[in-house]
Amino acid sequence: MLVLGIDTSCDETAAAVLSDGRSVLSSVVASQDIHAAYGGVVPEYASRAHMTAIVPVVRQALERAGVGWQDLGAVAVTNRPGLVGCLLVGVSFAKAVSFSLGIPIVGVDHIEGHVFSLRLASPDLALPAVCLVASGGHTELVLVEKWGAYRTLGRTRDDAAGEAFDKVGKLLGLPYPAGPVIERLAAGGDASAFRFPRAMMEHGNPDFSFSGVKTAVRLKVNELGGVPQGEQLADLLASFQEAVVDVLVQKTVRAAERHSVPTVSIGGGVAANETLRVRLAEEAARAGLEAVFPPKALCTDNGAVIAAVGDSLLGRGVRDDLSLSASASRSGPSVAS
């Protein structure tokens, strides 16, 4: 069966066509550059941009897959969590597709989508696995017992990891999203030049906190008399990146050890970070764990993982109808489209 997956939860308009829950026939992602100057996503601008992009993005996904509307067997759409005005664009469009083609619609949890990058990367992987989901809005350690059965082992108490990258970027005058920019500027920097705090590292604590490291960077910038340049900026960013990566890696490996889980994986935009991948691979190997790294294009927001969750839900008999609504949180009040 071909499933059209749609994600408009934040600032990417994404659509993909997935065949039989495994083969990504196409995946189109239109990133909104309108937010770059604001240091973060402006929700109203984002939902307007989704409205402009949704039709061409879905059309392109069908074209690249070499299929027509009539070939689609179902439509899966992110309906939680995210910016409600943004989610509603995708949900409304998916409903129109479902109604006009007479095919099932299923609403998908965005975080589960990030976890499913693991399934697309390694369809035959034996579970359980511990998956670190680190994005702009979420940082969670998820125990994947089986597909569809999850336990949240820990989560951030304040900022998400990606949010820390974006806020530090804003502080330094870098464009949004700052994660990839910081990674590039940090390359060649000395990660031990500055010592930034690693929060909540006491043994057995699975939760995260990234607001302290952001504040520590701000204090360091003040102490340096302003935003550093050149080598010193590279050192500052490498040291900041190291502090965030250190916490993410250690907590992921410890969680797998504590729950006697043999496999670790990562998903979400921050999982595109090469330092994080290298460090997690090293620490996992040291602990005798297998580490699975989905391709970066499946880690950042995309429609393929949403289609994969949708395919799995439909396979288990779960489906929605045209009353499907959107919700800013995972289980909070929803808004009808």
Which of 109, 112, 166, 311 is close enough to bind ligand KG4 by CB under 6 A? 166
135 binds ligand KG4 (CB under 6 A): yes
Among 268, 294, 303, 310, binds ligand KG4 (CB under 6 A): 268
Residue from 81, 85, 137, 189 touching ligand KG4 (CB under 6 A): that is 137
In this chain, which of 10, 24, 118, 305 binds ligand KG4, going by CB under 6 A?
10
Closer residue to Zn ion (CB): 27 or 135: 135
**Cα angle at 47 between 155 and 57, to 5 degrees?**
100
- Residue 310, interface with ligand KG4 (CB under 6 A)? no
CB nearer ligand KG4, residue 72 or residue 77: 77
Separation between Cα atoms, residue 58 and residue 200, nearest integer Å = 43
Give whichever of 238 and 314 is closer to ligand KG4, judged by the CB atom.
238
Asked if 273 touches ligand KG4 (CB under 6 A), the answer is yes
How many residues are recorded in the chain?
337
d(C-alpha 303, C-alpha 14), whole Å = 5
Which residue among 26, 300, 334, 337 contacts ligand KG4 (CB under 6 A)? 300
Among 17, 255, 261, 272, binds ligand KG4 (CB under 6 A): 272
Which CB sits closer to ligand KG4, 248 or 324? 248
Pairing of strands 325-327, 23-31: unpaired
Candidate ranges 90-98, 172-180, 285-293, 305-313; the one touching ligand KG4 (CB under 6 A): 172-180
Give the Cα separation of 163 and 156 in Å (integer).
11
Q: Are strands 129-134 and 139-146 parallel, antiparallel or unpaired?
A: antiparallel
Please state, in angstroms and rounded to a whole number, the distance separating the CA atoms of residues 238 and 116.
30
Q: Both ends of the chain: CA-CA distance in Å?
A: 27
Residue 179 · residue 241 · CB < 8 Å = no
CA distance 305 to 6: 9
183 binds ligand KG4 (CB under 6 A): yes
206 binds, among ligand KG4, Zn ion, none (CB under 5 to 8 A by kind): none
Helix (H) or strand (E) holding 27: strand 23-31
- Tokens representing residue 162 in the block: 């990606």
- What are the tokens at 301? 């927001």
Closer residue to Zn ion (CB): 29 or 172: 29
Residue 301 or 311 having the CB closest to Zn ion: 301
Q: Which position's Cβ is nearest Zn ion?
A: 135
Cβ-based neighbours of 52, under 8 Å, separated by 6 or more: none
Q: From the CB of 59, what's the least distance to Zn ion, in Å?
A: 23
Using CB under 6 A as the binding rule, whether residue 104 contacts ligand KG4 is answered as: no
If binding is defined by CB under 6 A, does position 270 make contact with ligand KG4? yes
State which residue, 178 or 247, has the beta carbon closest to ligand KG4.
178
CB 37 within 8 A of CB 107: no
Distance CA 171, CA 156 (A): 21
Residues engaged in binding ligand KG4 (CB under 6 A): 10, 135-137, 162, 165-166, 177-180, 183, 268-270, 272-273, 300-301
